[in-house]
Structures are given as structure tokens and as C-alpha cells.
Amino acid sequence: MSDLFAELIARTLTTHRLGRPVRYFPAIGSTNDVAHAEARAGAADGLLVIADEQTAGRGRLDRRWWAPPGACLLMSLLLRPDIPLCRAGQLTMCLGLGAAEGIVDVTGVRAGLKWPNDLVLEGRKLGGMLAELRTEGDRLDYAVLGLGINVNVIFNADGDDADGGQTTEHENNSSFVVRPPSDLDNLATSLQMAQGRPVDRLALLTAILARTEAWLDRMLAGESPHEAWAARLDTLGRPVTVSTATGTLHGQAIGVTSEGALRVRDAHGREHVIWSGDVTALRPAA
């Protein structure tokens, strides 16, 4: 039996807006797609869509988001903030901060943020966010913020799991040993791997939403989350390679703008402002 379902989530949440209401699905194509459909039908700010399994989950650049069923936190929030479009990037900052702080609250694990929208731990991907906006002129109509976190997964990059790589359940569905797709080898991690024991997904969800709502309230009151978000970015201060639609840039990640763009200084001292791209940050040698 899943540890997540709508009635239990609604009773457990401590938030005033986020997760009010909640729609839970045992399996779904994409939580973001459902949130968009609900938004077009008139759903209010704060709707939470959450699932135990996504069959068509996606990340940035339409990449597939892979997650074994019942082992991850897979959710989307519908937000209708009255803000100018230029501040929309701060919504992702609030979610990233809320996720990182909620993880600390429940597990003690200090996850970092990788620009623009990943949760990372010791250089491996722990989770990711996907913001999708709908606009009217220069105003934001609504935003759908997707979040996926590897919770109770044990990634076995060596592929020596007993059943040939199929998902294996353990301890009342609390953890999974998984042979990931080849492009995830040695790249992904989970909270269970970091903590050494299974993590309560409902407690994690409750903490993340509470922390995210607090940041959203501060942002809507006029406070920018930019500095706190930048302080969590694992990307800053490192040599980086940035791949964009116009080419590849090598340089040093020196900061971020208040809207969320990455500032990179190249070898000639020129500063570049990157709004979208894939970033590889080089970690210092041990």
C-alpha cells in the first residue's frame, strides 16, 4: 500500500495554500500535464498534483524523467501569483529552497542546488524541477512547478542486482534496488542512499511544502529569494562548461542575477549572462 494518498496528505499538511486541494494518482502520465489541464479548467492557486508513478514524466528540454514506481516524490504545484513576468524565475528559487530545506528537516541531509533547476548531493543528481509558465502579455497567468526527488531508491550502477535489473521491492515497499538506464550510471543518488535507511515520503512532502510556502509568502511580500538561492548553488565558484543553442562556453561561474540567470566569466575576462543551457561544473580534485 502506498504511503501517499489524498485524504492522508490533506490531513497531514501544515500549509494554508499549497496542497489545498490535492489530487493523488497511483499512476499518471505527467503531473505537470494534469496541473495544466486543471489550470485551464479554472483550478485555483495552490493545487497539488502528486503520483506514485509517472509514465511520461519529463525534465528540461523534453528529456524523460525516469523514476521507479512508489520510490520517489513526484509532484506538481499550480501557482497563480500576481507578479510581473520578470519575477517568474523566483518561483523556482522558492521551490528549490523549500525542497533543500525540507530535506534537511526530515533527513539531516544537506542537498545543494545546481543551476538552473537540479537538486544535487556530492556531485550526483538527487532531483530536479521543471517550471512551465503561461502568460498574458507581460503578466503571468499561471505557473506549473514540477518536482521529482529520488527518495527510497538504491541505484546499482554496477548492475549486479539479483533479478537482472528489474525493480525489486523490499521491506513493505520501502526501498528499491534498481539498475538505472545507462545514461544514469554513476550520476544519480537518493535520500535513502545518503541517510542509510528509508525515508518517510509523507513527512518529506509535508516539510517541503511548508518550507516552499514560507518562501513564496516572503517573495510575494516583496522579499527576493535570490541571495538565499545563490548561497545554495553548488555551481558557483567552479569552472563550468555551458552548452546553449548557440554554442559552448567555458569559464567560471561567478554569480546569478536576481531573475535567475547564470553569470559566467570566460578566459578573456568577458562576462556572459546565461538564461538557458546545460551546465557541467568541474569539481576540485581531491
Task: Check whether residue 188 and residue 266 sit in a common domain.
Answer: no
Q: CA angle, 121 as apex, 210 and 33 as ends, to 5°?
A: 55
The reported pLDDT for the residue numbered 42 is 97
Task: Check whether residue 269 and residue 163 sit in a common domain.
Answer: no
Is the residue at 131 inside a domain?
yes
The strand pairing partners of 271, in sequence order, are 265
Task: Check whether residue 114 and residue 144 sit in a common domain.
Answer: yes
Q: Residue 108, SS3?
A: coil
Segment 24-49, tens digit of pLDDT: 999 999 999 999 999 999 999 999 99
- Higher pLDDT residue, 168 or 103? 103
CA distance 154 to 194: 10
Mean pLDDT of 249-278: 94
Is the residue at 153 inside a domain?
yes
The reported pLDDT for the residue numbered 166 is 40
Is the residue at 30 inside a domain?
yes
Is the residue at 230 inside a domain?
no
Task: Check whether residue 204 and residue 129 sit in a common domain.
Answer: yes
Task: Check whether residue 51 and residue 193 sit in a common domain.
Answer: yes
Is the residue at 119 inside a domain?
yes
Task: Check whether residue 126 and residue 34 sit in a common domain.
Answer: yes
Task: Check whether residue 72 and residue 162 sit in a common domain.
Answer: yes
pLDDT above 60: residue 182: no
The domain in which residue 263 lies consists of 235-281
Contacts of 180 (CB under 8 A, 6+ apart): 66, 155, 156, 157, 188
Q: Where does the pLDDT of residue 286 fall: very low under 50, low under 70, confident under 90, or very high at 90 and above?
A: very low
Task: Check whether residue 262 and residue 125 sit in a common domain.
Answer: no
The bridge status of strand 153-155 relative to strand 175-178 is: parallel
Task: Check whether residue 276 and residue 166 sit in a common domain.
Answer: no
Is the residue at 166 inside a domain?
yes
Mean pLDDT of 130-147: 94
pLDDT above 90: residue 156: no
Is the residue at 286 inside a domain?
no
pLDDT above 60: residue 63: no
Amino acid at 84: P
Task: Check whether residue 59 and residue 163 sit in a common domain.
Answer: yes
The bridge status of strand 118-121 relative to strand 139-150 is: unpaired
CA distance 235 to 117: 11
pTM of the model as a whole: 0.88
Q: CATH no. for residue 256?
A: 2.30.30.100
Task: Check whether residue 216 and residue 262 sit in a common domain.
Answer: no
Classify the C-alpha dihedral 205-208-211-216 as positive or negative: negative
Number of domains in the chain: 2
Task: Check whether residue 176 and residue 66 sit in a common domain.
Answer: yes
Edge-first strand order for the sheet with 124-136 is 22-25, 48-51, 72-79, 139-150, 124-136, 118-121, 112-114
The reported pLDDT for the residue numbered 171 is 43
pLDDT above 90: residue 90: yes
Q: CATH no. for residue 127?
A: 3.30.930.10
Mean pLDDT of 151-178: 53
Q: Where does the pLDDT of residue 73 fall: very low under 50, low under 70, confident under 90, or very high at 90 and above?
A: very high
pLDDT above 80: residue 122: yes
Which of 183, 205, 225 terminates a domain? The answer is: 225
The reported pLDDT for the residue numbered 172 is 44
Segment 208-253, tens digit of pLDDT: 999 999 999 999 999 999 999 999 999 999 999 998 888 899 999 9
Check if the beta carbon of residue 91 is closer than 8 Å to that of residue 216. Answer: yes
**What mean pLDDT is reported for the chain?**
87
The reported pLDDT for the residue numbered 222 is 94
Cell of 51: 503520483
pLDDT above 50: residue 1: no
